[in-house]
């Protein structure tokens, strides 16, 4: 049994403009110690999906249906108090913007030790000692001295390291990382990713990483989920999804990454995906990608009939009327 088993998860957000169907029946699993990357454009529902797992949603959002089974417990129906015990203890979380996710009026030390003391129930001095060790592990220099600093005295990259230290402080089984490097400089991004990978492998931690950056997927993922308009449109092993993408959307996403060969010349043209994602307040039918799909035609009916996820290989699923494999067979 997987560590995390998400089934048919559906989350809606009520806004003044109408109900946004942000996540529409998403199912996937995360094995112990493995890493799963969720990719998609902004607005594809990947962040809401990640936050739905630990019910970290704004009050306008509601999980409509589905189950989120973590190590045998359904988090969706778990009482709030029991869920609080689990958050931070067995599931850690990293956020997109390290500048805003640390409390500006509390010291870094306080924000790490309070987590340790909350879950591990150790004396203050021991929590302090562990916090200093953790800061060292995430490679903050002068860890002891920097415990008393406030977040504004840390740089963006260092704050994300602190968030990582907090997330790992109670030795969780799963780390959910919601675009943890998007807000950082490219060089800092690489260092944070390296650190994350090192610590993950050393601890046998499972990772659910949300990103829109295919280069990160390439580096980190065991499994890849591609999300579009609140649905999973393709999933499978990294080698399969990146090596032989089946969904036109995945192809376009990969096409949007400049592919640079050894000589430094671009081998494939940078292609932007024409059009924009659909309005999720509307009730959508058929293939959500049809209006932007280069292969869809008016008469093939894929814009009206619901398209199911279908297996195109071992563990490789795709939700499209025009998977690459079918196109090749035809033409």
Q: Which of 54, 174, 207, 287 binds another protein (CB under 8 A)?
A: 54
Smallest distance, another protein to C-beta of residue 90, A: 9
Q: Which two tokens stand for residue 225?
A: 């989920």
Near another protein by CB under 8 A: residue from 72, 79, 104, 123: 104
300 binds another protein (CB under 8 A): no
Site for another protein contains 115 (CB under 8 A) = yes
For 264, left (φ over 0), alpha (ψ -120 to 50), or beta?
left
- Of the residues 3, 38, 61, 93, which one makes contact with another protein according to CB under 8 A: 93
Start-to-end Cα distance in the chain: 41
The set of residues, in sequence order, having a beta carbon less than 8 Å from that of 290 and lying 6+ positions away, is: 296, 302, 303
The reply to whether 79 sits near another protein by the rule CB under 8 A is no
Could you say whether residue 22 binds another protein (CB under 8 A)? no
Beta carbons within 10 angstroms of residue 146's beta carbon: 18
Q: Is 190 a residue that touches another protein (CB under 8 A)?
A: no
78 binds another protein per the rule CB under 8 A: no
Distance in Å, CB of 149 to another protein, minimum: 9
**Is residue 58 involved in binding another protein (CB under 8 A)?**
yes
The sheet that has 4-15: what strands, in order across it? 18-30, 4-15, 61-70, 73-74
Helix (DSSP H) and strand (DSSP E) numbers for the chain: 11, 12
Binding residue for another protein (CB under 8 A) from 152, 239, 266, 310?
Answer: 152
Q: Could you tell me the two tokens for 139?
A: 């490679």
Q: Does residue 166 bind another protein (CB under 8 A)? A: yes
CA–CA distance, 220 with 242 (Å, rounded to integer): 12
Is 101 a binding residue for another protein by CB under 8 A? The answer is yes
Minimum separation from the CB atom of position 152 to another protein (A): 5
Select from 84, 197, 222, 251 the one that contacts another protein (CB under 8 A). 84
Cβ 1 to another protein, closest distance in Å?
24
Total of chain residues touching another protein, rule CB under 8 A: 33
Hey, which bits of the chain come out as E strands? 4-15, 18-30, 35-39, 61-70, 73-74, 91-94, 174-178, 206-211, 223-228, 231-237, 310-313, 316-318
- Binding region for another protein (CB under 8 A) out of 115-123, 125-133, 200-208, 269-277: 115-123
Of 59 and 330, nearer to another protein (C-beta) is 59
CB of 240 to another protein, least distance (A): 32
167: tokens are: 């997330």
- Backbone torsion region of residue 330, taken as left when φ is above 0, otherwise alpha when ψ lies between -120 and 50, otherwise beta: alpha
Q: Which residues bind another protein (CB under 8 A)?
A: 16, 54, 56, 58-59, 80-81, 84-89, 92-93, 95, 97, 100-107, 114-115, 118-119, 150, 152, 163, 166
């Amino acid at each position: 049994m997987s560590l995390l088993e998400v089934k048919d998860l559906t989350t809606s957000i009520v806004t003044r403009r109408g109900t946004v169907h942000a996540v529409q029946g998403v199912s996937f699993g995360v094995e112990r110690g493995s890493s799963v990357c969720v990719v998609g454009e902004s607005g594809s529902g990947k962040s809401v999906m990640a936050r739905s797992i630990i019910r970290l949603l704004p009050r306008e959002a509601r999980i409509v249906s589905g189950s989120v089974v973590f190590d045998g417990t359904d988090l969706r129906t778990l009482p709030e108090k029991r869920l609080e015990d689990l958050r931070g203890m067995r599931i850690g979380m990293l956020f997109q913007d390290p500048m805003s996710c640390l409390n500006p009026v509390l010291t870094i030390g306080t924000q790490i030790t309070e987590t340790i003391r909350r879950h591990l129930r150790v004396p203050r001095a021991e929590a302090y000692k562990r916090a200093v060790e953790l800061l060292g592990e995430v490679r903050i220099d002068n860890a002891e001295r920097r415990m008393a600093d406030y977040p504004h005295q840390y740089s963006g990259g260092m704050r994300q390291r602190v968030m990582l230290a907090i997330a790992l402080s109670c030795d969780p089984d799963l780390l959910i990382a919601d675009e943890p490097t998007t807000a950082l400089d490219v060089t800092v991004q690489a260092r944070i990713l390296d650190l994350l990978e090192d610590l993950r492998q050393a601890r046998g931690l499972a990772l659910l990483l949300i990103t829109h950056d295919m280069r990160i997927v390439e580096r980190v993922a065991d499994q890849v989920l591609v999300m579009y308009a609140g649905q999973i449109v393709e999933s499978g092993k990294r080698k399969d999804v990146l090596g032989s993408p089946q969904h036109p959307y995945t192809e376009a996403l990969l096409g949007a990454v400049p592919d640079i060969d050894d000589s430094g010349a671009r081998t494939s043209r940078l292609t932007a995906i024409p059009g924009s994602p659909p309005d999720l307040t509307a009730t959508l039918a058929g293939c959500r990608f049809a209006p932007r799909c280069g292969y869809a035609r008016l008469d093939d009916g894929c814009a009206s009939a619901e398209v199911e996820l279908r297996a195109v290989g071992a563990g490789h699923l795709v939700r499209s009327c025009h998977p690459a494999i079918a196109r090749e067979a035809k033409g």
